[in-house]
Structure 1
C-alpha cells in the first residue's frame, strides 16, 4: 500500500463517519491524521505502531488502523460504513463545493441517494427550498453535475499514458508488435479512448487470444472482426485494439494517430493526407522507422512534417509556415524549474532535497515558490517565515558554487480585488513572484479578467500562475478573456505559466501560439509538491509542443547565467522605479 492509498482510505473513513453522525472525536482523529499524513514522507506501510504514533496527528487508535490497512489492504470500519452508504451518495462527494453536511441533508431530508435524483431535484427547484442551500447553491450543483456528465469515461493525460503503457507491456507478451496510437500518442490532456495497434496475420486467433486475457473485458456489441473494444482491468475508459498485418502497421499508426481534421488537410497535389496515406505503395510504408515513414507521407502530400502531438487540425500547418519542427521545446532544453513547494508550506520535501533532485535531473536552478500568507490551508508563509526561509536558501546557495542556484520565489495569492497578499517591501525581497488565484473561484468573465489584469499590472508579478484555476475532469476553470490577459502580460513583461501538473495543464495549449505571437514567454512549471512532481514537466513539455511552443519562447530554457541576469535586472528596475 502506498502512502496515497492509505491516506485516501483514512480520509474516506472520516468523511463517512461524519456522514453517518458517528462519534465526533473519533471522526476528527481520522480527518486530522489524513490531513497530516498527506504531507508525510515516511513509509507508512512499513512503520510499526510505535513509530506511527510519533507522526503528527496520529494517535494509537489510528496507528492501529494504518497497520490494518497496510497488512490487509482493507479497513473493517470503512467496509461497514460503505455497506451502509448507497453508491450514489458516494458519487456526490465528487461534486465540488458539496460538503459532507449538505450531502447528509440531501440524503436524509430529500431521500436523494444518486446523482440522477439529485439532478431531478435541482431541476424541479427542490434543493433551493432546503434551509442552508438556496438558489445559488442549487445552480452550482446543477452546473457541477453537467460538468461531471461531460467528463464521464475520460481520464487525464498521466493516467491515460499509464494505462496505455501497462496494456502495451501486457500485449507485447503475446504479439510481435504493439503500438500506442490515437489520443495518447497525440498527448491529449483528456482521453476518452485508449487505442493501440496490434500486429497479427491471423485476426481470428488474435481476437480469441485477447478474450482469454484476464485483464481484458470485451464489449462484444462495439467490437468487430478486426477491432476489439472493451475495458482493461478496472479502468473506466474505453480501450480499442486494432488488428493489422505487418505491412499495414506503419500506415495505420500514422492514420490512427492523427485527428480527422488533420488528415483532411489537402497538399500541393490536391490529395488529402488521408488519401496519400492510403494510396502510397505498401512496400514503401512497411519499411523503415516510424518517423521516416510518416515524414514520407507528408512529403508525398507536399506538406511539412508535423510531430504527433500537433496532429489535431490545420493549426499545425499554419504554425509550420512560420517555424521549423526542430524549434519545438524538448525536455532536454529545460535548464531549471520555477514553481515548486516545500515543507515550508504544503510540500512533502525540504528545499534542500528538492534542489538536490533537480541537480540529479541535470537542471542548473531550482525556484522555490511556496504558498503565501493568505493560503492558511496550505501552511502559507507569513512575513517572518519568509525571512527565515530566505536565510536558509542563502546558506544552501553558499554550498553550490557557480553551477547551481536556488532562486527565492513565492506563489503569492491574488486577492479578490486583484492585489497580491504581501506589501511591496516583502515582495521586493523575492527574486520572482508567481501570482495565482486560489480562493473565490466562482466569478463572471468580467470579474475574473479584471482581477487577473490588476495582478498582472503589479510590478512585482513575474509569472502568472495557472490562469484559469481549472482542475481537469474535476473543476472547470473560471472564464477569462484570454486575449486581454495575454496582451496585458505582453505589455507588462509578465511570463505565463504552463502549469505542468496533469491535473491542471493551464494555460490551455490552444493559447500558446497567440502568446508567442504577442511576445509573451511561457514557463513550464511543475507546481511540484514532492520529488516525483518535478517530473511533471514532461507533461508540460508535451502540452507545450502540442501548442507549438518553441525553445526560444520557453522561459525556463534560459541558462543559469541568463536567468540570474534577467531576475537581477528586473529587481533593479523595480528598485529604481520605487
Structure 2
C-alpha cells in the first residue's frame, strides 16, 4: 500500500466518523495522523510498527491501525463505519462543497441515501427547507451534482498517464504485435481524458487476438466493437478504451490522423488545396514527419496541432522552440508548514536546491485564508527572518520572499501596504466567494491586477478539474490588463488546476505577457507537478523566452527589484 492510498483510507475514516457524529478527539487523531503521513517521504509499508510509534503525532494505537491497513487493505474502525453507512451515502462524501455534517442532515432528516435521490430533493426544493441550508446552498449542491455527472468516466491527464503507458507497454510486448501507439487526447496532452485510444498492427491483422478480451480490469464492450475496432471500459476508473487495428504499411498515416484535431486535418496548406487528411489517406509513409515533408511543412508535435496559427507557422518554417523541463531555473509559488504545507520552509528549500534549481519562491497563504493557517503579520516577519538565515546558509541558492495574497471580495489584497512592501513578489489569487458572474469575477481580478503590489496572478479561474468549474472570467480583458500593468500570469501546474488554460496561452503570448510555470506545491513531492505545467505551456506555444521562471536567479532578483522601484514601492 502506497502512502497516498493509506492517506485516502484515513481521510475516508475521518469523514465517516464526522458523518456519524463520533468523538471529536478520535476524529482529530486521524486528521493528525494524515498530516504526519503527508509529510512522510519514505514508503510507509517499509516501516515497522515500532518505527511508526516513534513518529511525532502517531501513537501506539494509530500505529497499529496503520499496520492493519497495510496488511489487510482496511482497518477495524473503517470496516465498522462502512457496515453502518449506506454505500450511496459514502459516495455522497465526494460531492464538492458539501461536508459530512450536512450529508448527515440530508441522510437523517430527508432519508436521502444516493446522489440521484439528493438531486431529486434539490429539484423538488426540499433541501432548502432543512435547518442550516437555504436556496443558495441547495443550488450550489445541485450544480456540484451536475458537474459530477458530467465528469463521470473521466480522469485527469496525470491520472490517466500511468494507465495509458502500462497498457501501451503491454500491447508492445505481445509477440503478435508489429507496432502499437497511444494516440488521441492522451497524445495531444488534453487536460482531461475519457477514452484511451490506441493503434495496433499485428502479424495477422485479419483477426483480433484473444488476449484483448482477457485484459485485467477491463470489461469488453462487444456491442460497439467491430472487425477493426475493439472497445472496452476500465472497471475502476470508468475510462473507455478503444484499440483500432490498422495495416502495418499504413501505421504512420493512421497515427497522424488519430493524433490531430479535425480543423487541422481539413485545412488547406497550399494553393492546390492539399490537406493533411488528403495526404494521410494517400501513399503510405514511414513516419508522420514524412507526411509533413511531402506537404513542405515543418513537423509539428501532436500537442501543438490545435491552433491554425501554428499550421501557418509550419508553412513558413517559423515554429517556436517550445519550453522544456530543463529550461526552468526555479520554482515559484510554494507552501510550507507556515500555512497549509506538509514540509517546513527549510525542507522545501533544501529539496528544491537538491533538485538542481537556482531559487525558490515561498508563497504561503495570507491572513484572510484562516482555513489554511494564513500568516498574521508577526508570522510574516518570523518567516522572512528564517528566509534571511537560510539564504546565508544555502547561498548562492536563493529563497525569494513571497506570499499568496488573497484577492478579497472588493479586489483588494490582504495586508496593509507596509507589509505588502516587505515581500520580493506577490502572487494574487482568489480563494473565497467563488460564486460570481463574469462581470463581478472579471472586475475583482482587474482591481487586483491594477494594484501595484501584485506581481503575478495565480490560478486565474479557480477551477478544480473534474471537481469544480472555475468562475467565469473575460480572459481577454484579464490578459490585456496584465499586459498593461506588467503582471505575470501563472500556469498553475497542479494537475487538478492547469490554470491558466492552454487555450489562452497563445493570446497571452501575443500580448507579451510573461507566464510562470508554478506547481503550487504543498509538499516536496509537489515539485513533481512542474512537468504538467510545462505540458500546458507547450500546448499553447510557450517558449523559454516568455517563461518567467526560465530566467536565472540574478535575472529574477533584478526583475523583482526593478518592478518594485518602477511602482514606487
TM norm structure 1: 0.92
For residues 521-572 of structure 1, give each alpha carbon's deviation from its aligned partner in whole angstroms, at most 9, with x where no partner exists: 1111111122332121111111111112222221111122221211121233
Mapped contact 1:412–1:434 kept (Cα < 8 A):
yes
Distance 2:35 2:393 in 1: 34
How many pairs align? 566
1:81 corresponds to 2:81: yes
Report the equivalent of 1:111.
111
Residue number in structure 2 paired with 1:316: 310
**Structure 1 unaligned spans of 5+:** 287-292
Q: 1:494 Cα shift?
A: 0.4
Correspondence 1:142-153 to 2 at 5 A: 142-153=142-153
Shift of 1:454: 1.6
Q: Is residue 2:201 matched to residue 1:199?
A: yes
Equivalent position of 1:465 in the other structure = 458
Q: Flag the 1:54–1:373 CA change in 2: closer, same or farther, 3 A.
A: farther
Secondary structure at the aligned position of 1:120 is classed as helix
SS of the aligned residue for 1:327 comes to: coil
What do the CA deviations read for 1:429-469 (whole angstroms, capped 9, x no partner)? 21111111112212222222222112111111111000111
Tell me the SS of whatever aligns to 1:235.
coil
Query: CA separation in 1, counterparts of 2:458 and 2:316?
Result: 28
Deviation at 1:475, TM superposition (A): 0.7
Per-residue deviation at 1:56?
4.9
Structure 1 residue 81: Cα displacement: 2.1
Q: Give the one of 368, 374, 389 matched to 2:368.
A: 374
1:301 aligns with 2:295: yes
SS in 1 for 2:473: coil
Residue 331 (structure 2) pairs with residue 355 (structure 1):
no
Moved more, 461-470 or 194-203: 194-203
Asked whether the equivalents of residues 491 and 533 of structure 2 are also in contact (C-alpha less than 8 Å), the reply is yes
| Uncovered stretches (5+) of structure 2, i.e. residues with no partner | none
Mapped partners of 2:317, 2:399: distance in 1: 33
The equivalent residue for 1:272 is 275
Deviation at 1:346, TM superposition (A): 2.3
User: More displaced, 325-334 or 16-25?
Assistant: 16-25
- The superposition leaves residues 80-138 of structure 1 with CA deviations (integer Å, 9 ceiling, x where unpaired) of 32233222222222222211122122222222221222222211222222222221111
> Does the 8 Å CA contact 2:15/2:93 hold for their aligned counterparts?
no
Change over 3 Å in CA distance of 1:225–1:363 after alignment to 2: same
2:242 is the counterpart of 1:249: no
Matched, 1:340 2:334: yes
Shift of 1:506: 0.3
Is the 1:196–1:240 Cα contact (8 Å) retained in structure 2? yes
Give the corresponding residue for 1:566: 559
Larger mean Cα displacement after TM superposition, 178-187 or 531-540:
531-540
Shift of 1:163: 1.2
Q: Give the Å deviation of 1:334.
A: 1.6
Change (3 A) 1:322 1:539: farther
**CA-based RMSD:** 2.3
2:161 equivalent in structure 1: 161
| Larger CA deviation: 32-41 vs 435-444 | 32-41
> SS of 1:91's equivalent?
helix
**TM-aligned CA deviation for residue 338 of structure 1:** 1.0
Structure 1 residues 507 and 539, CA gap change in structure 2 (3 angstroms): same
Aligned residue in 2 for 1:127: 127
Alpha carbons 1:33, 1:56 under 8 Å: kept: no
SS of the aligned residue for 2:245 comes to: strand
How many angstroms apart in 2 are the aligned matches of 1:321 and 1:559? 34
Asked whether 1:177 is paired with 2:171, we answer no
Deviations 1:156-183 (A, max 9, x none): 0101211111112222221343211110
**Structure 2 match to 1:6:** 6
Distance 1:271 1:318, change over 3 A: closer
Q: In structure 2, which of residues 392, 395, 411 is the aligned counterpart of residue 398 of structure 1?
A: 392
- The answer on whether the counterparts of 1:45 and 1:66 sit within 8 Å (CA) in structure 2 is no
Contact 2:188 2:260 in 1 (8 A): yes
Q: Describe the superposition over 1:479-530 as per-residue Cα deviations: whole angstroms up to 9, x where unpaired.
A: 1121221111111110000001101000111111111122211111111122
Residues 222-233 of structure 1 mapped to structure 2, 5 A cutoff: 222-232=224-234
Equivalent in the alignment of 1:101: 101
Q: Give the corresponding residue for 2:220.
A: 218
Q: Give the 3-state SS of the residue equivalent to 1:94 in structure 2.
A: coil
Change (3 A) 1:383 1:55: farther
In the alignment, what sits opposite 1:290? none
* 1:303 to partner: Cα distance: 4.5
Shift of 1:57: 4.4
* 1:65-84 alpha-carbon deviations (Å, 9 max, x no partner): 12211222211331232233
C-alpha distance in 2 between matches for 1:433 and 1:398: 22
Check the 8 A contact 2:303/2:538 in 1, yes or no: yes
Does residue 327 of structure 1 match 2:321? yes
Give me the TM-score of the superposition, normalised by structure 2. Answer: 0.93
What secondary structure is seen at the aligned counterpart in 2 of 1:221? helix
Cα distance, 1:189 vs structure 2: 0.3
| Range with greater deviation from structure 2 (207-216 or 88-97) | 207-216
Query: Do the aligned residues in 1 keep the contact of 2:296 with 2:315 (CA within 8 Å)?
Result: no
Between the aligned partners of 1:537 and 1:27, the Cα distance in structure 2 is 34
Secondary structure in 2 aligned to 1:196? strand
